[in-house]
Every structure is written in structure tokens, then in C-alpha cells.
């Protein structure tokens, strides 16, 4: 086996996770990253259950788009938008910035709130999400990355959810230290009862509440607050893995796929500053700048810090950012 083939099948680490990881001799820049970013030939095993569920959800959601603008009552429209914000904050402020990257600490009321938000949106348990996401950062754009963007837009956007996980992804997931996640009792409670609780909060209540509280029709309640809202939440999150790994600019590290993407930042409440985020994943802002209209998740965390629910918010010094930018330029010139 040639050295290149070995590096492909082993999927060497290509990214950082926490502040401590960035303190490596090469400054957390992998010299062979262009090699490991290539993909192996692979036969996909389709999961038909997921393909059928996604198809039904998308057809209902598209019809829900029409109903939302033409037939839905005003409370239904508000309710749909509120559920979208809850589901998106669960992923951005919760599964991502809190549990995947430990970029800040949260007291139990905030953790409970984020877990509740997460149960409304079929994005898998926060534990499951955080474990997959740590693998994504550590082995970014290699075959150990669950949504390897080197395989193209469709695969990294939704395709990876319609096929069986690549064994290398599972193996690398098991190799990571997840002890901090196991120690969080609220997180473990959600993971244990996820498949019992999420149908109630993500499906039954979003349909029943509009019907009984303000006499919305069943079809509108099903297609708008449930299906339309869900496909928007899911596509917004998926676009971080696809669009924000392909389209945009790379001011912090030119050697990695992740980009700065304004559109993704708008729909994901601030998660599109992805070139910065992959360079400095432990920053609670997931961007060089904090809470703003283009980073509502950071504004939410700052608000929680004001009322004492969030603390130890981590950031990166301007000097360290400048150093990283310079080092990247040096590596690029040296090639």
C-alpha cells in the first residue's frame, strides 16, 4: 500500500476540536490535507425508509409553503416561525456550540431548554449530533467525515442521511473522547428517551396545538408548522455541511474546504462563518464577531450569559487570529 493509500484508508486527522488541539507544532495545519481530502471508491447502501420519509416530508412541506402564505391563520404563521427558531437554536447554541465544542458552559435551565428545543425538530439527540460533529471536525472532508464535502454537494447536503454510515465514520466516532457528554445527565436523559419523546414534541404537538388552540385545519397544521418548518430547519442545517464547505471565501485558512457564507449565516442564525469556525471551533461566536443580526445564536448565548444561565464564554484573541491568517499564507506560499 502506498503512503497515500494508507492515509486515505486511515483518514488522518485534518482538523481541530478544542482550544488545546490548536497548540500543536504545525499549528493544527495538516500538511497532507490535500491528499486526505480525496475520496475512496465506495458502494452506497440505500436506506429506503429514510428516502420514503424524506420524500413525504418534502412533498408535504412544499404544499405547506403554499398553505402558509395563502390559507394559514396568523397564529399558525407565528407558531411555524417560532418552531423554526427553536429548532435552529437547539442545533446552533446547543448541539453545536455548547455540546460539540464546549465553547461556553451552561447551567441546567439552559441545557434543559436547549434539549426541549431539540426535541421539537427531528435532528437526532444532542448527544448523537455532537458525536457526529466532533468526527466531522477531526476528520474534516475525509472519508471518516459523516458528510464529506469532497464527495460533492448532494452527498454532503442530504445524501449522507439516505445511506448506511461508512464503517470508517463509525470507527472514528468510537475513537473520540466523549466523557464530558456522558457526564451530562440532561443530555443522557434526552438520548435515552429520544425516540419516545421527539414524536410528541416534533410531530404531534405542532399539529394538535394549532387545531385546538385557534381552529386551524388539520391539513394546514400538518403541512405548515410540521412539514414546511421541518424542511426549512433541516435544509438550513444541511447547508452548513454543503454550501458552507463549497461556496464563499476563505480568509482564515485557504487550505480547508469550509468557507464564509453570508446566506448560510442568515438561515442558520450565524453558522455560516464556517472558515473561521473550522480554524477556531472553540469560539462561542463561531465567527470573528459576536451577537448581531448575522449571528443571532451568539446574541442568544450573550443574553443567556446576562441572566446567568451561560458562563465561561470562550473567544479567540485578535493576535491569535492574525497569526493563523499569516501562517496560512506562509503555508500556501510554501507549496
Beta strands in 34-157 (DSSP E): 105-106
Please tell me whether residue 311 adopts helix, strand or coil conformation. strand
Residues of this chain, 155-214, that bind Zn ion according to CB under 5 A: none
CB of 258 to Zn ion, least distance (A): 5
Q: What is the DSSP string of 198-222?
A: HIIIIIIHHHHHHHHHH---HHHHI
Alpha helices in 120-228 (DSSP H): 126-138, 153-157, 167-175, 179-182, 185-198, 205-214, 218-221
Give me the least distance between CB of 281 and Zn ion, in Å please: 5
Cβ of residue 334: shortest distance to Zn ion, in angstroms?
A: 25
- Nearest distance from C-beta of residue 96 to Zn ion, angstroms: 6
What whole-number distance in Å separates Cα of residue 149 and Cα of residue 240?
10
Which of 119/244 has CB closer to Zn ion? 244
The site for Zn ion, by CB under 5 A, has a size of: 1
Binding mask 132-151 for Zn ion (x = CB under 5 A): --------------------
Dihedral of alpha carbons 130, 132, 135, 136, sign: negative
CB of 230 to Zn ion, least distance (A): 22
Give the nearer residue to Zn ion in terms of CB position, either 222 or 252. Answer: 252
CA separation for the pair 313, 180 (Å, rounded): 17
CB-nearer residue toward Zn ion: 173 or 210: 173
Nearer to Zn ion, 146 or 258 (CB): 258
Residue number, 61 or 258, with CB nearest to Zn ion: 258
Which of 197, 14, 172 lies closest to 119 in space, CA to CA?
Answer: 197
Residue list 217-276, contact with Zn ion (CB under 5 A) = 258
| N-terminal to C-terminal alpha carbon distance within the chain | 25
Residues between 15 and 74 that touch Zn ion (CB under 5 A): none
Binding site for Zn ion (CB under 5 A): 258
Amino acid at each position: 500500500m502506498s503512503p497515500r493509500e494508507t492515509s486515505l484508508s486511515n483518514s488522518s486527522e485534518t482538523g481541530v476540536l478544542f482550544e488545546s488541539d490548536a497548540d500543536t507544532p504545525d499549528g493544527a495545519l495538516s500538511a497532507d490535507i490535500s491528499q486526505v481530502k480525496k475520496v475512496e471508491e465506495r458502494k452506497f447502501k440505500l436506506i429506503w425508509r429514510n428516502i420514503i420519509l424524506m420524500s413525504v416530508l418534502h412533498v408535504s412541506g412544499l404544499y405547506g409553503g403554499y398553505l402558509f402564505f395563502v390559507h394559514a391563520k396568523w397564529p399558525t404563521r407565528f407558531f411555524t416561525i417560532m418552531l423554526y427558531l427553536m429548532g435552529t437554536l437547539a442545533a446552533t447554541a446547543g448541539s453545536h456550540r455548547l455540546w460539540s465544542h464546549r465553547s461556553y458552559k451552561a447551567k441546567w435551565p439552559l441545557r434543559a431548554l436547549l434539549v426541549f428545543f431539540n426535541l421539537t425538530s427531528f435532528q437526532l439527540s444532542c448527544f448523537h449530533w455532537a458525536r457526529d460533529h466532533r468526527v466531522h471536525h477531526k476528520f474534516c472532508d475525509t472519508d471518516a467525515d459523516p458528510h464529506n464535502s469532497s464527495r460533492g454537494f448532494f452527498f454532503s447536503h442530504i445524501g449522507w442521511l439516505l445511506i448506511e454510515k461508512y464503517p470508517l465514520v463509525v470507527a472514528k466516532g468510537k475513537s473520540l473522547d466523549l466523557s464530558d457528554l456522558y457526564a451530562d445527565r440532561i443530555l443522557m436523559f434526552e438520548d435515552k428517551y429520544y425516540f419516545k419523546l421527539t414524536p410528541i414534541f416534533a410531530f404531534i404537538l405542532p399539529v394538535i396545538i394549532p387545531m385546538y388552540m385557534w381552529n386551524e385545519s388539520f391539513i394546514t397544521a400538518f403541512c405548515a408548522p410540521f412539514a414546511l418548518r421541518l424542511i426549512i430547519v433541516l435544509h438550513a442545517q444541511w447547508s452548513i455541511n454543503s454550501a458552507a464547505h463549497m461556496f464563499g471565501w476563505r480568509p482564515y485558512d485557504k487550505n480547508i474546504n469550509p468557507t464564509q457564507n453570508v446566506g448560510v449565516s442568515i438561515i442558520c442564525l450565524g453558522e455560516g462563518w464556517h472558515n473561521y469556525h473550522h480554524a477556531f471551533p472553540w469560539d462561542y461566536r463561531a465567527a470573528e464577531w459576536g451577537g448581531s443580526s448575522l449571528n443571532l445564536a451568539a446574541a442568544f448565548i450573550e443574553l443567556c450569559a446576562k441572566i446567568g444561565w451561560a458562563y465561561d464564554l470562550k473567544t479567540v484573541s485578535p493576535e491569535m487570529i492574525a497569526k493563523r491568517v499569516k501562517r496560512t499564507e506562509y503555508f500556501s506560499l510554501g507549496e
